[in-house]
Each structure stands twice: as structure tokens, then as C-alpha cells.
């Protein structure tokens, strides 16, 4: 009898390894999601989108359709994209690594058998998913109010959802990076949101190209009445603005991965 062929043994040997890698990645993301989402601060953050939803409910109850045009623009562009998303992303994004730095548990990263960039991607993805989940009441409110002013339902839902998802990704990437660059990443992120996004970008049109919120408002434009202008809006088109938000998220996570790789996690300092 001829010896059994060993060609088929290679894939069989690699299969458990591939499954273990996938399982580790899923476990790492699940652990990161629980660490970001299942915290007391997240429950407190949930109040902000709920307030926006309550405002939308009051508007629907007491106003006529013509009076809602400007209110829809304010709710979708200023409250949702300009306030709720950045604030929620700020707290959850900076908390992705900020708590480890403050609590002195960052050295535990040394015990992981995976590259550190896997941890960054998992934490950033967890912050992103958590931000979208927490913002859902405000997203639903903006969509319902937009449909109530006779805008196309598909455009409203697509604009609101896409603006929320992409803006959240860009903000979370940026704030995860800040949490690794500075011990007070929350304060640095708050300064960016309040001073740059709200004040400077609104005063100087030339600075809008460096404002995540301006690109988010451009993406949400289909969900707002065309005759009611938004506030600080990027000069680029909707598709270009969406691509810019994706690029910001990718670059920020890449830089955060590089930063964590260079950090001395034994002390939490770079």
C-alpha cells in the first residue's frame, strides 16, 4: 500500500490557528466593547440624545409643517451632528485608553500575544459602535422630523444615518489618538470641539476644512430642507465629505496604533 498523502494536512493544521485568530479578535473586540459601553458614564451620555428626541417630539406635537423646516435643520445639523455625536464620541473615545493611563493598568497590554495595533483597532471600533448606539434616539428623532416636513424618506434616513456613522468614526479615531497622545485627552478633545469646531471654524471659512463637524453637516444635507442653510458646512460635495470623514478615521487609528507601539506601557508615558 502506498503511504497516505500529507498534502491535505497543511490546511487542516492551519484551520485551528485561523479559527483561534478570529476568535481572539472577536473576544478582543467584545471585551473592548464591554469596557467602553458598559460604564456609568455611558448611561449618563444616553440622556443627551434622549433630550434631543424629546425636543423633536414636542416640535412634532405643537408646530405645523412650515414651522418645522428650520427646526429640522437645527436638529439634524446643529444638535445631532454638531453637538450629540462629538460629545458622545469625545467621552467614549478618550475613555478607550484614558482610563488605563489614569488607573495604571496600561502595562497589562504587555501580556497580550497580539500586536498592539490590534488593541487600538478594537478599542476604536468599540468606541465607534458605542457612539452610534448611544446616539440612536437622536438619529431616529432627526429622521422622523425630516420625513414630517415632506422630505424624501430615503434621503432623510440615508443622510442622517450616514452622517452619524461617518462623523462618529472620524471623531472616535481622533479622540482615541488624543487619549494616547495626552494624559488629559478629554480636555484636549473638549477644547477642539468647543473652540475649533464651534467657534473658530464658524468664524473663518478657511478653517472649515479642518473641522470634522463641517464635513458631517455636508453629509447630512440631504436630510435637511434645501432652502434653509446649515451652519458651518464644508465647501466640498457630499461624496467628497464622506470620503474625508473615512480618511480621518483611518489615519487617526493608524497614528494611534503607531503611538501605542512606541509608548513605554510600563509607565504609560511616551
- What tens digit of pLDDT does each residue of 112-139 get? 556 777 888 888 998 999 999 999 999 9
Give domain limits for the chain.
30-262
Q: Please state, in angstroms and rounded to a whole number, the distance separating the CA atoms of residues 163 and 264.
A: 36
Q: Three cell numbers at 242?
A: 464622506
User: How much is the average pLDDT of 94-119?
Assistant: 64
Distance of CA 258 to the CA centre of its chain: 20
Distances 14 to 9, 10, 19, 133, 269 between C-alpha atoms, Å: 9, 6, 9, 36, 38
Copy the grid coordinates of residue 216: 458631517
The grid cell for 220 is: 447630512
Task: List CB contacts of 247: < 8 A, sequence separation 6 or more.
Answer: none
What pLDDT shows up at residue 141? 95
Instruction: Supply the pLDDT for residue 114.
Output: 64
Which grid coordinates belong to 246? 473615512
Tell me the per-residue pLDDT of 4-59, one tens digit each, with 9 for 90 and over. Answer: 444 444 444 444 444 444 444 467 666 666 666 656 666 778 899 999 999 999 99
> Which of 71-85, 216-230, 245-259 is least confident?
216-230
pTM above 0.75, yes or no: yes
The pLDDT, as a whole number, for residue 66 is: 85
Amino acid at each position: 500500500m502506498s503511504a497516505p498523502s500529507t498534502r491535505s494536512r497543511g490546511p487542516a493544521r492551519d484551520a485551528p490557528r485561523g479559527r483561534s485568530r478570529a476568535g481572539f479578535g472577536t473576544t478582543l473586540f467584545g471585551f473592548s466593547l464591554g469596557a467602553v459601553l458598559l460604564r456609568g458614564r455611558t448611561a449618563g451620555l444616553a440622556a443627551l440624545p434622549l433630550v434631543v428626541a424629546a425636543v423633536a417630539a414636542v416640535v412634532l406635537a405643537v408646530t405645523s409643517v412650515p414651522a418645522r423646516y428650520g427646526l429640522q435643520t437645527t436638529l439634524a445639523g446643529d444638535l445631532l451632528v454638531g453637538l450629540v455625536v462629538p460629545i458622545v464620541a469625545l467621552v467614549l473615545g478618550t475613555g478607550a485608553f484614558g482610563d488605563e493611563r489614569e488607573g495604571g493598568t496600561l502595562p497589562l497590554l504587555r501580556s497580550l500575544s497580539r500586536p498592539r495595533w490590534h488593541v487600538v483597532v478594537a478599542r476604536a471600533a468599540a468606541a465607534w459602535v458605542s457612539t452610534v448606539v448611544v446616539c440612536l434616539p437622536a438619529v431616529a428623532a432627526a429622521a422622523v422630523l425630516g420625513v414630517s416636513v415632506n422630505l424624501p424618506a430615503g434621503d432623510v434616513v440615508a443622510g442622517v444615518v450616514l452622517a452619524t456613522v461617518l462623523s462618529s468614526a472620524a471623531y472616535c479615531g481622533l479622540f482615541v489618538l488624543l487619549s494616547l497622545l495626552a494624559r488629559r485627552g478629554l480636555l484636549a478633545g473638549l477644547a477642539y470641539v468647543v473652540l475649533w469646531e464651534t467657534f473658530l471654524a464658524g468664524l473663518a471659512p478657511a478653517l472649515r476644512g479642518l473641522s470634522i463637524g463641517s464635513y458631517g453637516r455636508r453629509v447630512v444635507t440631504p436630510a435637511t430642507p434645501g432652502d434653509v442653510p446649515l451652519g458651518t458646512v464644508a465647501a466640498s460635495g457630499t461624496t467628497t465629505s464622506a470620503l474625508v470623514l473615512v480618511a480621518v478615521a483611518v489615519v487617526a487609528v493608524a497614528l494611534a496604533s503607531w503611538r501605542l507601539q512606541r509608548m513605554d506601557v510600563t509607565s504609560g508615558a511616551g
